[in-house]
Amino acid sequence: MDPETLASLTTLLRQMGEGTLSTLLIFALTLLFSLPLGLLISFGRRSKYKIVSIPMRFYILIMRGTPLMLQLFFVFYGLNPLFGIQPQRMQAAVIAFVLNYAAYFAEIYRGGIESIPEGQYEAGKVLGFTRGQTFFHIVLPQVIKRILPPMGNEFITLVKDTSLAQVIAVQELMHVTEKFASSDVSTVPFFVAAVFYLVMNGVVTRCFTVAEKKFAYYR
């Protein structure tokens, strides 16, 4: 390999590495906020008060029913004319991802919560647990076990969905890849990107396999 090719390859890898960091940042921040937010939304969606549950249903409908790309555009370009707030690119991406993924997570939580038999709540109640204790110590651990497979799907999808942030010019992995591919007129960046995404999702998959094993001690 001649020194020039080597140098350009190093630059490519370094910049794609930086793009990967942005990708990971979106990934991590999205999970950090959308996992708890999703739980709150699922509570709201399950509320017996229509004034709470109907807006939550509407929220979930909008978030799941419109393209994530559109939501990214909206947060980045739409907030300023409407509310006079102009988020930075990265902020806008994280906000859009959090709001979108929270809706999906809410439905996964809801499915999990509704699969736990009523008897578990009743046992908690007659033993004197408060509703909060019953939920967090008895129900939620069982919910987590049951929702691991669909959560694994969502996490993997999220790794790949981060590439959508390029539409508002966040310098994440796909954005960097495309830039190099067009400037170098080369397909190499595509293959490198594929490997990067695969490695990330390999790690995610591995984590979920370990987690499922950890919860396999009971049925």
In whole angstroms, how close is the CB of 129 to another protein at the nearest point?
6
Widest CA span in the chain: 76
Q: Nearest to residue 94, comparing CAs of 140, 3, 158? A: 158
Q: Nearest to residue 42, comparing CAs of 97, 94, 95, 102? A: 102
Residue 119 interacting with another protein (CB under 8 A): yes
Residue 123 interacting with another protein (CB under 8 A): yes
Residue 214 interacting with another protein (CB under 8 A): no
Half-sphere exposure of 206 (CA within 13 A, CB side): 6
Residue 138 interacting with another protein (CB under 8 A): yes
Task: Look up residue 192 and give its amino acid.
Answer: V
Selected from 114, 122, 184, 212, the binder of another protein by CB under 8 A is 122
Residue 205 interacting with another protein (CB under 8 A): no
Q: What are the angstrom distances between the C-alpha of 74 and each of 15, 23, 31, 129?
A: 28, 20, 21, 45
Q: Which is nearer to another protein, 83 or 218 (CB)?
A: 218
**Phi, psi values for residue 133, rounded to 5°:** -60, -45
Residues touching another protein: how many (CB under 8 A)?
Answer: 19
Residue 117 interacting with another protein (CB under 8 A): yes
Q: Nearest to residue 104, comparing CAs of 62, 139, 135? A: 62
Selected from 127, 169, 203, 207, the binder of another protein by CB under 8 A is 127
Selected from 47, 142, 201, 205, the binder of another protein by CB under 8 A is 142
| Site residues (vs another protein, CB under 8 A) | 117, 119-120, 122-123, 125-129, 133, 137-138, 141-142, 145, 217-219
